[in-house]
Structure 1
Amino acid sequence: MEFRKKRLMIGEAKEMDMVHCLSQLCYEPVKIIRNDHWYHSPLREEHTPSFKVNQALNRWYDHGMGKGGNLVDFGVLFWECSVADALVKLSGDFSFQQQQILPVRSAGEHQGKIKILDSFLLSSWPLQRYLQQRKIPLKIATQFCCEVRYELGEKVWYGIGFENDLGGYEIRNAYHKVSSSPKRITTIQHGATNALIFEGFFDFLSFMVICKTNEHDNADYIILNSLAFLEGIQPLLDSYKNVSLFLDNDDAGKNAVELALTWGKQYQDERRFYEGYGDLNDWLINSPGA
């Protein structure tokens, strides 16, 4: 199959199906009402979907921004570039035209196992943009994460991969999250006497951002990847002089912290630093001083 080598004419670009293009960019509608496809805005962070594409008109409108238009208008805002550069990306550098790679849904929606096809340096633009939305610099992400492509349900998918101690991956993209088997904790050890515990890898990456230093070897880091592993690794945690818990500010996180605090005086609840936010990454994204 051959792909367009020269730049699209602006009229051609405007006629490209926007719902399909958004899917190629790792964005799927949250709900569909007749011709209206509603998304969480690809142009900004939001929790309530307010970005609408009318597929019959092939036009979009972001209610939160009060802006809308055709695919070229969207490309200029999405890639933060000129019309000419947007046309180049839509015609040649728009890499997701070259293969059908769609975002994953939550793990419970799929049957069967994930088969990891390959892993390599993070490079896909939608994944880089997702990191930007979560305020994680690419330089930090690439120290601990990779890009993975994998097979599930006879389709090829992609995401940011964070490897655990048994070779499985936590996988994230702009919409969904899944895990490949085997699922396990991730340990980053420096032979330290202090350990910092995180519930998920985006909280760990957020801590790396907040530290703003390369001197991270004064502690060991344990990313649980699931709270279900906490109780099982108590013997490992008991071997540390100090254990700092950076868990989520929800009921599950609260219960896990309360359990750990009964294990000894070396356990410390660090959630006060991001009180009022869901987790450490939520604080990084939304705190005015972050």
Structure 2
Amino acid sequence: MNIAQAKNIPLAGYLQSIGITPCKKQGNNLWYYSPFRKETEASFKVNLVRNQWFDFGMGKGGNMLDFVMEQQGIEDISHALQILSGKVARISPANSFSFRRQENLSAYEEIRIQSLENPLLIQYLKERKIHISFAGQLCKEVHFRFKDKPYFAIGFKNNMEGYELRNKYFQGTLSPKGITTIKQGNDSCCIFEGFMDYLSYLTLKQKHNPKNTDIEKQDYIILNSVSNTLKGIDIISGYKEKYCYLDNDKAGVSAYEEIRNKCGLNVSDRSVHYRGYKDLNDYLVGKKQVQEKRQNWRMKR
């Protein structure tokens, strides 16, 4: 098998052959739960006409070979060709696939939202070094049943009246999914990928200067997933100064570049203050991506 032949293999058929089935079809696009992580809303798209994929959570995509190399964690095209050669006989036509049910708000039952007070959730926040008073002000405790089993999680409300859900073992969304804006009448804003990063920022500000945190001097935009970046562009563009506290990974870099390209001047990448850490919460906790001397981070904003 050569590269051209590999690129012509139907992506949808290949995914079906390895047990990955779509949630829904929209026009020429099939939507899947991402094969690269656990999620409750489909963010992985396959275009049937172009025979290409794109993962909105990662901010990257490509052809069949790109997918195999990403999934297998390899960089050698010849290795990817070898993998595909062993599977091609079992790949179904692109128009032959089954669907899995998308798990969203309708799948959750007996939803109850209350003040954040569960000891296990409080303990989880403490493990993440989050200042409990900030979490109490900004988050809720969400109880629900899913597939006849009870669950509870920290809930962070978005602008669409949905909730981002998080506990020690689970991360998901109580639909609809959207961004969260906290407006305080300022001409500058801080942008975060998730609410744990936002809470980490507030905690670091309080830790750095307990008597004068200055947290009221900026507005805040929490994307609640880099797949929501486009939804926030119009709002972000309205600020004179934009400070991005995004993750130190490919998806975070891609989101920053998209904001910088579409929002013009005065977009600042603040992730340089926590290089070597995946995100702001990992910096707060001290969980490094690589072994290096911890930076002395002086937060200016």
Work out whether residues 111 and 153 of structure 1, in 8 Å CA contact, stay in contact via their aligned partners in 2. Answer: no
Q: What secondary structure does 1:107 align onto?
A: coil
Residues 180-220 of structure 1: per-residue CA shift (max 9 Å, x gap): 11100011100110011000000000000011145322111
Distance in 2 between residues matched to 1:116 and 1:244, nearest whole Å: 39
Identity, in percent, stands at 35
Match of 2:48 in 1: none
Map 1:149-228 to 2 at 5 A. 149-212=143-206, 213=212, 215-228=214-227
Q: Residue 157 of structure 1: CA displacement?
A: 0.9
Match of 1:242 in 2: 241
Match of 1:272 in 2: 272
Distance in 1 between residues matched to 2:254 and 2:213, nearest whole Å: 33
Match of 1:229 in 2: 228
Q: Residue 237 of structure 1: CA displacement?
A: 1.1
Instruction: Identify if the C-alpha distance between structure 1 residues 116 and 253 changes in structure 2 by more than 3 Å, giving closer, same or farther.
Output: farther
Q: What secondary structure does 1:235 align onto?
A: helix
Distance in 1 between residues matched to 2:164 and 2:231, nearest whole Å: 19
Q: Residue 114 of structure 1: CA displacement?
A: 2.6
Distance in 2 between residues matched to 1:106 and 1:157, nearest whole Å: 16
Q: Residue 154 of structure 1: CA displacement?
A: 2.2
Of residues 259-268 and 177-186 in structure 1, the stretch that sits farther from structure 2 once superposed is 259-268
Work out whether residues 193 and 246 of structure 2, in 8 Å CA contact, stay in contact via their aligned partners in 1. Answer: yes
Aligned residue-pair number: 186
Q: Residue 179 of structure 1: CA displacement?
A: 0.4
Match of 1:255 in 2: 254
Distance in 2 between residues matched to 1:256 and 1:194, nearest whole Å: 18
Q: Residue 270 of structure 1: CA displacement?
A: 0.7
- After superposing on structure 2, the runs of 4+ consecutive aligned residues of structure 1 that deviate more than 2 Å are 105-116, 287-290
Instruction: Identify if the C-alpha distance between structure 1 residues 283 and 164 changes in structure 2 by more than 3 Å, giving closer, same or farther.
Output: same
Map 1:115-134 to 2 at 5 A. 115=109, 117-134=111-128
TM-score when normalising by structure 2: 0.58
Q: Which consecutive residues of structure 1, in runs of 5 or more, have no partner in the other structure?
A: 1-104
Q: What secondary structure does 1:171 align onto?
A: strand
Match of 1:92 in 2: none
Distance in 2 between residues matched to 1:284 and 1:190, nearest whole Å: 25
Work out whether residues 115 and 180 of structure 1, in 8 Å CA contact, stay in contact via their aligned partners in 2. Answer: no
1:145 aligned to which of 110, 126, 139: 139
Distance in 1 between residues matched to 2:254 and 2:261, nearest whole Å: 11
Distance in 1 between residues matched to 2:271 and 2:194, nearest whole Å: 14
Work out whether residues 157 and 163 of structure 2, in 8 Å CA contact, stay in contact via their aligned partners in 1. Answer: yes
Instruction: Identify if the C-alpha distance between structure 1 residues 265 and 106 changes in structure 2 by more than 3 Å, giving closer, same or farther.
Output: closer
Q: Residue 106 of structure 1: CA displacement?
A: 5.0
Work out whether residues 121 and 167 of structure 2, in 8 Å CA contact, stay in contact via their aligned partners in 1. Answer: yes
Work out whether residues 106 and 176 of structure 1, in 8 Å CA contact, stay in contact via their aligned partners in 2. Answer: no
Q: What secondary structure does 1:197 align onto?
A: strand
Work out whether residues 250 and 278 of structure 1, in 8 Å CA contact, stay in contact via their aligned partners in 2. Answer: yes
TM-score when normalising by structure 1: 0.60
Work out whether residues 160 and 171 of structure 1, in 8 Å CA contact, stay in contact via their aligned partners in 2. Answer: yes
Q: What secondary structure does 2:217 align onto?
A: coil
Q: What secondary structure does 1:140 align onto?
A: helix
